[in-house]
Structure 1
Amino acid sequence: MNSEESIKFLLEQKEAIVNLPDKRRSPQFDKWKRRTRLIIEKVFSNGSLHLKEFDGIRYSLSVFSLSTPEESFQRVYMRGLEDAMGLIETCIEEIKDFGLDESEQEVGGNNMGENIQQVRKANKIFISHSSEDSHFGKAIVQLLRGLGLKRDQIVFTSDDDYGIPLDDNIFEYLKKQITNGVYILYLLSDNYYDSVACLNEMGAAWIVQNQYTIIGIPGFQFSNTKFSGGAIDPRKIGFTMDNTKRVIEFKNNILNQFDLSIDEMDWMEVYKKYCDTVEGLCKHK
């Protein structure tokens, strides 16, 4: 992929902004956002400052209530589009002025269109957890369903509705899910690190290099030596279930990963229910 191709793709995304509907969280917006993010990732590499800046753009309010006026949501949405347009323009100017650093570009084919088609997102989530923490895992399942994931997109072995199909071998089934690139949520606790089965799951996923998110049950310390000495990269940022700000970031990551969208009012109901559930679990912990 050369500079000319990169500029072409970025220009297309910039021009597409003016044709997006004014309605926030529309399917057209979600499609535009996913493609723009992918193009920036392919042009500048995963982990680049450009990609981090794009991921940091807000299109909706992080905190709101039932009395929040619609114009407040709309104002943040339009400002987000303006910020995105400015970032794309900056990316184009940098390429024109300095060209592309080949060492920072994604390794793969030379054709940008082919690269975009080759990107494969996970279509399932596996919640790796200790059975002792199943009540916390159920709260995560509740949150994921509220975001729009279907029942068959979640593997949670402590609930038959999301568990191993009848007559399947549990170890072979989990091995197949991990090998197929399932997205993993590690629900960490002292119970997790005391479980041989959990550590085997972690090791298998580490070998395959699955995408993952680290979640600690309330009270779990990421300074725990079991965590820092384990297979999971201790430099990767995780969060505990009662960290409300990080839960919102987690929501955004899941929506992006699984091509989902949720109305802000619906999200507020899902979020409140989740927070109430976690608070109740903490009281009875």
Structure 2
Amino acid sequence: MAKKNISQVAVPKARLIISKAKFSQYLKERIAEGHILLEKNVPLPMQPQYSYYGYSVRDAMSPVRFTDEQEAFISEFQKWTDYNSELLKQSFDIGNNEYQAKYVRCGQSLVISANDDIIRLYKEELKDKIYFLDSLFAKVELLPCSIIEPEEKLEVPKKKQPLLFISHSSADEEIASALVTMLRTLGFNKSNLFCSSVPGYDIAEGEDIYETLASKFIDYNIYVIFLLSENYYNSAACLNEMGATWVLKVKYSTLICPGFTIPDIKGAVNPSKMAVVLDDAKRVNGKLNQLKDHLVEFFGLPEIEDDTIWENDRNEFLLSIRNHKYEDKKIR
């Protein structure tokens, strides 16, 4: 008796219903936001519990009450991953497609855990989901797509506007404020400078601090000035900003506050990179002049017609630093 040939039914492959360029841009933005979230410093107290890990039973691992930092992180993670899942649904002609299904599953593992920490597990899942999006981004050109765009009609990516971001502890706000005053001489204003401690250059009333900072790192061509001090390294918010700068490979310069030294530098900031030591009377003028030249070039600022104006404002800045009684304050 002849055997029947049983042909396998091919599973239809999901096709993009938006342009590959647009899909790539979406993925790039989601990956960048994921990295910023991953670098967020969250206290990790151990949770002595025995349970399975997974969406359906996460509540079993939850402590009686999360800290505010933990709740904020979990909320941001859930918003980030839900958006990604919906993006993968709406970008293809098949809603529950293989990419969306794989994304939801990645990072999910049922593991019996004793005395474990749920925040660590969230971060492990976050890493896996970032890796998945990154892998998908790398092969976008190979994905089937129902949109055919002539090469000459492809949208040219919009050039990002440069933005100077002063990363500092609120305990050092007097130094940050004096720095902003000096930088105005070079042509900086609220459209190209962000400093959370200086009114007019800070976060608008009612806006979420974390979301605002995350969007600025994504939407702008950021240049960071670090005001490093002991206060800075004692601030979780500052360390998050430093981590985001490192992850996104943002250009930066370093100012060392009085009472702090270059050997004290640690973390993502390179201690061998040029730094302006504010209480180094012998070299600080020249170092600030070099910083001015870097900023003028990066931001395309007009040259100052009379260097005396810059030198006067630079000297006023240094005088305010010398007159400032430097002491530890509460960190933000």
TM-score by length of 2: 0.46
The one-letter amino acid of 1:199's match is L
Q: Classify 1:282/1:251 alpha carbon distance in 2 versus 1 (closer, same or farther; 3 Å).
A: farther
Q: Do 1:122 and 1:183's aligned partners in 2 also have CA atoms closer than 8 Å?
A: no
Instruction: Write the distance in 2 (CA, Å) between the matches of 1:121 and 1:276.
Output: 35
SS of residue in 1 equivalent to 2:269: coil
Q: Classify 1:265/1:118 alpha carbon distance in 2 versus 1 (closer, same or farther; 3 Å).
A: farther
What is the match of residue 268 of structure 1?
A: 311
Instruction: Write the distance in 1 (CA, Å) between the matches of 2:197 and 2:263.
Output: 27
Q: CA deviation at 1:245?
A: 1.9
Q: Classify 1:283/1:253 alpha carbon distance in 2 versus 1 (closer, same or farther; 3 Å).
A: same
TM-score by length of 1: 0.54
Q: CA deviation at 1:282?
A: 5.1
Q: Do 1:121 and 1:257's aligned partners in 2 also have CA atoms closer than 8 Å?
A: no
Give unmatched runs, 5+ long, in structure 1: 1-116
Q: Classify 1:121/1:255 alpha carbon distance in 2 versus 1 (closer, same or farther; 3 Å).
A: farther
Q: CA deviation at 1:181?
A: 2.8
Q: Classify 1:201/1:279 alpha carbon distance in 2 versus 1 (closer, same or farther; 3 Å).
A: same
Q: Classify 1:157/1:266 alpha carbon distance in 2 versus 1 (closer, same or farther; 3 Å).
A: same
Report Cα offsets for 1:45-100 as digits up to 9, x if no partner: xxxxxxxxxxxxxxxxxxxxxxxxxxxxxxxxxxxxxxxxxxxxxxxxxxxxxxxx
What is the match of residue 151 of structure 1?
A: 190
Stretches (4+) displaced over 4 A: 117-122, 282-285
Q: Classify 1:158/1:121 alpha carbon distance in 2 versus 1 (closer, same or farther; 3 Å).
A: same
Instruction: Write the distance in 2 (CA, Å) between the matches of 1:135 and 1:159.
Output: 9
SS of residue in 2 equivalent to 1:126: strand
- Whether 2:299 is the aligned partner of 1:258: answer yes
The one-letter amino acid of 1:245's match is G
Q: Classify 1:155/1:284 alpha carbon distance in 2 versus 1 (closer, same or farther; 3 Å).
A: same
What is the match of residue 65 of structure 1?
A: none
What is the match of residue 184 of structure 1?
A: 224
SS of residue in 2 equivalent to 1:182: strand
Question: Which residue, out of 184, 201, 207, partners 2:247?
Answer: 207
Question: Which residue, out of 223, 230, 248, partners 2:263?
Answer: 223
The one-letter amino acid of 1:139's match is A
Q: Do 2:258 and 2:326's aligned partners in 1 also have CA atoms closer than 8 Å?
A: no
Question: Which residue, out of 300, 323, 328, partners 1:280?
Answer: 323
SS of residue in 1 equivalent to 2:262: coil
Report Cα offsets for 1:257-283 as digits up to 9, x if no partner: 112211212223222322222221157
- Whether 2:174 is the aligned partner of 1:135: answer yes
- Whether 2:217 is the aligned partner of 1:196: answer no
SS of residue in 2 equivalent to 1:160: coil
Q: CA deviation at 1:250?
A: 1.0
Instruction: Write the distance in 1 (CA, Å) between the matches of 2:228 and 2:241.
Output: 12
Instruction: Write the distance in 1 (CA, Å) between the matches of 2:168 and 2:314.
Output: 22
SS of residue in 2 equivalent to 1:161: coil
Q: Do 2:163 and 2:222's aligned partners in 1 also have CA atoms closer than 8 Å?
A: yes
Question: Which residue, out of 204, 214, 232, partners 1:175?
Answer: 214
- Whether 2:269 is the aligned partner of 1:232: answer yes
- Whether 2:162 is the aligned partner of 1:123: answer yes
Q: Do 1:145 and 1:151's aligned partners in 2 also have CA atoms closer than 8 Å?
A: no
Q: CA deviation at 1:119?
A: 11
Instruction: Write the distance in 2 (CA, Å) between the matches of 1:185 and 1:280.
Output: 22
Q: Classify 1:259/1:218 alpha carbon distance in 2 versus 1 (closer, same or farther; 3 Å).
A: same
Structure with the larger helix share? 1
Q: Do 1:157 and 1:163's aligned partners in 2 also have CA atoms closer than 8 Å?
A: yes
Higher CA-based Rg: 2
What is the match of residue 86 of structure 1?
A: none
Count of residue correspondences: 166
Q: CA deviation at 1:140?
A: 1.0
SS of residue in 1 equivalent to 2:263: coil
Give unmatched runs, 5+ long, in structure 2: 1-155
Alignment root-mean-square deviation, CA: 2.4
